[in-house]
Structure 1
Amino acid sequence: MLKLHIPKNRMNYLIDRMQHQFALPMVEQGWEYHHKGRVTGLELIHGVEIHALVSDTKPCEVHLDMDQFEKSECSCPEEEYCMHMAAVIFTLYAAFARPELLLQQLRQAIRVKSRQAQTRSSAGPKTEKKTERLEPPRPEQLPSVWHRYFDQQFYGYSLSQQHSIEQFYNTAKESLGSLAAGWNEPLRSLYGLHVLLFVMRKMEQFYSETKTSYLSFYIETGCKTVAKQCMEQLNVLLPELDVPALAKSCSNALDDTLGMLGEAALNGKDSPLDWLVAYRSIWWRLSDSPQRVQRERKRLQLLLEKTSLLPRKRDALLVALAHFDVMDGNDDEARVRLEHLSKREARDYFLYLHRCYEDQQWDRMLTWLRWMLPSMQRAQQEELRTFCTYWMEAVNRQPEDTEWVDVMIALLPRTYYFYTAYLLKAHRFKAWIDLQLANRVSPLDLYTLDLKTVEEHDPSLLLPLYHQAVERSIAEKNRSAYQMAVRLLKKLQAYYKKLGQTSIWEDYIYRLSARYSRLRALQEELKKGKWIP
């Protein structure tokens, strides 16, 4: 099959024309012609025109104009855009990716467009009224009205190999974010928050709708990447939001925002986003609005009284309700409430660790860390890293580190890197060496700077580490392993010399060569090192 590579933007233009101007039967027939290899003689003319031949009952000449597609034509008798044009586009697409995936994407898009057209034609004048273009957001409107405008701007937007979640994230921020440029604070910041919430809401929708799609892994990976960006952006936006000012001057807009966040955070859906962080962060800023807080607590308690709650939703409600205990300073009551969770997730409590860090409440932080410890055994590595980082901050303010060391040992081997870094920082070099020996780590796999630090303190501590590595290399019984052993022996000899223990080294190398006298290749390597005659 002849493949002609054209620029990606030109290819995207052709795909867009297929999606909007080709009938589905023509697209499917075009796929058949491409699949059977009926497209030949592809040529690129003047950089924007494609000429090709498609075999049918008689050869059909196809001309595609990639600047003005309406000028494209085919020599067949079809009056609309035909299967021969579609076949040529599929053949061109083969230089980028698998055409069968493009076929699936086009089928979905064309069917959705067809259903929407049928709905509009059958609904009559009422629907026409409803689908009128909305005006851009205004400061006096409620945020829910802004979201209707956002939804209309991205109506029918779907993800594909050409339209990634990253592209949607950037497009939405650019096209919607500037609409409130002339607004006064704090509404402008609130609007910026809602643009981000809209992106998060749509991303959750894409994530849910494509779980059974052939692009599910591709989209799920993109959603998780963008979700992390959204949460980072949220951590920037929320502290800048003047919530007390909103409570006074834009009370309805704030209540609308809280309602939307509550709906997203408390539904218990599987999501790549941590809506509960947004929900709890904004409520934390409302400690000066006791009536609002009291109403929300009562609402959560009423929801929890329902007997038909799914475990995930019940857990979300418990975490939200416990947050108001934390806001009141009743951490113990919050933890008692959280003991009823069906599944304790470590990431739900990093919000409290961060607040303790900001307020330098080290004892309070340690209490949360101790309570979180049982859930860390099954936490993701990134969560474990965050947990250890906060505990290192807390332990630096404690008179001794016994508890921290016990925790690191209990969580080994997952805490190996945190524990080794701490031991070096605390100048516990003997414990550091013992840890490497227990994990059978070769000095060749350790950082040179770390070894140098131990060497400057006491070179004798490194001797057992090198002895163990030499024995393990010899046990592999192959030439390359013996050469590795010789490298280690040279370093070992240098340490003995530095310590003034040359006689001990000579006795060791003599006994080593005698013990492995039957390993001819090893003996040859020892001779090269000039340790035996």
Structure 2
Amino acid sequence: MQLSEKLEAAMEQQLQDQNAVTIIKRGWQYYAEGLVNSANAGGHDNIYGVVQGSDLYAVILDAGHFRYSSCTCPYPGFCKHMAAVYFLYIQQESGHEQAERAYFRLLGLRAASSAVKPLPERPAQEHKPAPDDTADAAEWLAWMEEAHGETWRKCRHSLHALQPVLSSLKGLARDWPKPLQRLHWSTVIVFVLEQAEKGITTVDSFSRYYHEMSFIRMAEPWVEHLNTLISELEPERMTPEEEAWTDTVVAHVKSRASSGEQQLFDWGYMYLALCEKLSENRVWYERELGSLLKLAEDEEGLTDTGFLHTAVGMLYFFDKRDELALEHFARSGFERSQRVMYPCAAQRMEEENWELVELWMAFLFERVYKVKNARTVGPFVTLCRRADLDRPELPVWTEYMTRLLPHSYSELSDHWLEQKRYDEWADLQLLIGTKPEDVGASALREIGKQAPRALMPLYHHSVEAAIQTRNRQGYRTAVKQLKKLEKLYKTDKDSARWDRYIAGLVHKHQRLRAFQEELWKGKIVT
């Protein structure tokens, strides 16, 4: 990808508008000394680059809107690193002479070749030529490590340095047969993700969280593409060479997943995605399960037993041996394995295998109840709501949701409202202490029309709470609520009951003169 001539002209005009001759000259010096590691055009008319100064600095030049350009160096605004990246970009696209011309245009001078020293040649690193489609995965991984294994050093602030590596490596297999191409591209993505894992280790602990979020967001398309490639594999039609390649990739990913180290990406999830697809080949499935069970027999010395039991549990799940799956999930650590267990229960619901659904939900509830936090309760109650829709005759789903209160309140309230179980909904609001004004207006209107009696206790409670404030504002609030309550009694066509209620209320609080005045002002009593 490269910028159009029009955008290059716009970029130079904006650089020149900075009126910073010293910065332009220092940028040229950086370029001439070979301190710019990379300069590549990306999407949205941007140029991305990495410069080696007192530290590694990531540069973004926006040709369309220069004010959005940035550099990770401490200098505010336009800096020498930006200028240096632009010169290298021009050199890569059109040669050193054109870069020199751009330099003099920015200074408002004519280019004079003798005035500037040519860019020194960087010492060429000799690498073996890339393997071809007859090489196996191990050979490719070794070659990629030799040719690009230091790219992570340029990723201290951004993963932009990895994008051209990914593109160029994938391009080496563009003419390969599709099945082998998928395996090659999968291997390339795994290699690039490993480079990102190394890159994050150079970030200081203070800013690590922000860089992790940035790295993960940029790598999302790569991970998504890997999952797509995995889904397109055809395990039962693989040649022996393709099977061997697959085994190498699986072993590589599994090694990452079981390392127990803090990592950017969920390698365990990638491994399980591979397992789910490759389990279509029964021979592969039995072999992989056997190897995992053998490891499980002797956990001593393993760095991550939780991953091991999660993997065994998922392989048993793929084979519909759910009881054995749950035995291993019980040993995997719920906080970590819950992410894959909720989809297991959901899949059994899709299959309408309710005997297994009840087994999964009982297992999950036991663990969710012990933890009771948003991360665990939310997904579990979502499953309960779905089960209650499909099998409402089973009371266990409601029992689970009510026992998880107050953490399940929001989900349970919405569920009962959607199911028009208004009496249960109203009881829940009273239990939690919800005021009518805390409930959405649309919900109040709906229930007021469909089941006005369900709302009456909620308003009764609200009126009493307002009166107990023993101040004028509270009494006014009570009167407002009484007016709404009166409408509910009228909708329910029970005016006699309303009259008895008001008479009792007036008598009960007859000594509160301010309250009696507000009742009169609000025309509740005459």
1:414 maps to 2:411: no
**Which deviations, in whole Å up to 9, do the C-alpha atoms of 1:407-441 show, x marking residues without a partner?**
10111122222222222333322111100110011
SS at match of 2:23: strand
Aligned with 1:424 (options 392, 407, 417)? 417
Moved more, 376-385 or 452-461: 376-385
How many Å separate the matches in 2 of 1:226 and 1:168? 12
How many Å separate the matches in 2 of 1:363 and 1:156? 53
What is the identity percentage for the equivalent residue pairs of Structure 1 and Structure 2? Answer: 24
Aligned with 2:154 (options 136, 157, 162)? 157
Counterpart of 1:124 in structure 2 is: none
Counterpart of 2:97 in structure 1 is: none
Within 5 Å, give how 1:303-322 maps onto structure 2: 303-306=295-298, 308-309=300-301, 313-322=304-313
Decide whether aligned partners of structure 1 residues 322 and 503 sit closer, same or farther in structure 2, where only a CA change above 3 A counts: closer
1:371 maps to 2:363: yes
Counterpart of 1:65 in structure 2 is: 24
Aligned with 1:267 (options 259, 269, 272)? 259
Aligned with 2:444 (options 432, 443, 451)? 451
The total of aligned residue pairs comes to 435
Q: CA deviation at 1:193?
A: 3.5
Task: Report the TM-score when normalising by structure 2.
Answer: 0.68
Counterpart of 1:489 in structure 2 is: 482
1:462 maps to 2:455: yes
**1:473·1:485 contact (CA, 8 Å) conserved in 2?**
yes
Q: CA deviation at 1:348?
A: 3.2
Counterpart of 2:331 in structure 1 is: 340
Within 5 Å, give how 1:255-404 maps onto structure 2: 255-306=247-298, 308-309=300-301, 313-341=304-332, 345-357=337-349, 359-377=351-369, 378=371, 381-398=374-391, 400-404=393-397
Q: CA deviation at 1:402?
A: 0.0
How many Å separate the matches in 1 of 2:350 and 2:213? 32
How many Å separate the matches in 2 of 1:530 and 1:381? 46
Counterpart of 1:25 in structure 2 is: none
How many Å separate the matches in 1 of 2:74 and 2:471? 50
Decide whether aligned partners of structure 1 residues 301 and 516 sit closer, same or farther in structure 2, where only a CA change above 3 A counts: same
SS at match of 1:49: coil
Counterpart of 1:78 in structure 2 is: none
Q: CA deviation at 1:313?
A: 0.8
**1:486·1:526 contact (CA, 8 Å) conserved in 2?**
yes
How many Å separate the matches in 2 of 1:234 and 1:486? 63
Decide whether aligned partners of structure 1 residues 494 and 82 sit closer, same or farther in structure 2, where only a CA change above 3 A counts: closer
Counterpart of 2:104 in structure 1 is: none
How many Å separate the matches in 1 of 2:328 and 2:375? 26
**2:462·2:481 contact (CA, 8 Å) conserved in 1?**
yes
Cα RMSD of the aligned pairs, angstroms, is 4.5
Decide whether aligned partners of structure 1 residues 486 and 70 sit closer, same or farther in structure 2, where only a CA change above 3 A counts: farther
**1:231·1:274 contact (CA, 8 Å) conserved in 2?**
no
How many Å separate the matches in 2 of 1:519 and 1:203? 72
How many Å separate the matches in 2 of 1:324 and 1:475? 61
Decide whether aligned partners of structure 1 residues 475 and 220 sit closer, same or farther in structure 2, where only a CA change above 3 A counts: farther
Q: CA deviation at 1:496?
A: 1.9
SS at match of 1:156: helix
Aligned with 1:132 (options 126, 139, 158)? 126
Within 5 Å, give how 1:204-283 maps onto structure 2: 204-207=197-200, 210=203, 213-222=205-214, 236-246=228-238, 250-283=242-275
Decide whether aligned partners of structure 1 residues 144 and 355 sit closer, same or farther in structure 2, where only a CA change above 3 A counts: farther
**1:265·1:279 contact (CA, 8 Å) conserved in 2?**
yes
**Which deviations, in whole Å up to 9, do the C-alpha atoms of 1:466-485 show, x marking residues without a partner?**
12223334445566655544
Structure 2 residue ranges without an equivalent (≥5): 1-10, 32-51, 55-66, 82-122
How many Å separate the matches in 1 of 2:241 and 2:298? 35
1:436 maps to 2:406: no
How many Å separate the matches in 1 of 2:512 and 2:189? 68
**1:346·1:376 contact (CA, 8 Å) conserved in 2?**
no
Amino acid at match of 1:315: G
Structure 1 residue ranges without an equivalent (≥5): 1-12, 14-43, 52-62, 73-80, 84-91, 107-127
SS at match of 1:149: helix
How many Å separate the matches in 2 of 1:412 and 1:444? 21
